[in-house]
Amino acid sequence: MDRYRGHVVLVVNVASRCGLTPQYAGLETLHEKYADRGFTVLGVPCNQFGGQEPGTAADIEDFCQVNYGVTFPLTEKVDVNGAGRHPLYTALVGDGPDIQWNFEKFLVGPDGAVAGRYGPQTEPEDGEFVAAVEKLLPR
């Protein structure tokens, strides 16, 4: 996350075969709308929930670009829970509960601290969610 220091980052564990996969469209819209103000979405593919992200990194990237026009960065596939939890998720989750499902969202402020955690059902277009993003961005 050091490369994003000073930026507002929305970290989302993603999957391409999930009922919530259409959230990619809203995530891309947010990314495009606020990128020039120091905002980015960081998609983190994970196959821990129902095996809904089985592809390779290249498969996942192609799927996202072809189906949703995704331009925001995607990481390699990682584990977000358990003994193999990626260090990024260890930092994000802290003492909180494990990730429950795909498309759980962490809003990270420019100082690198978690400013909010949002469940999978929170849509990227949700008014309160967008207001939380805007509050962290420079005017």
pLDDT at 139 over 90: no
64 is catalytic: no
Instruction: Work out the pLDDT band at 1, boundaries 50, 70, 90.
Output: low
Per the CB < 8 A criterion, the answer to whether 136 and 8 are in contact is yes
Helix (H) or strand (E) holding 118: strand 114-118
Residue of 1, 4, 17, 18 marked catalytic: 18
For the chain, list the domains and their CATH numbers: 2-136 (3.40.30.10)
Per the CB < 8 A criterion, the answer to whether 14 and 48 are in contact is no
**pLDDT score of 91:** 96
Instruction: Work out the pLDDT band at 136, boundaries 50, 70, 90.
Output: very high
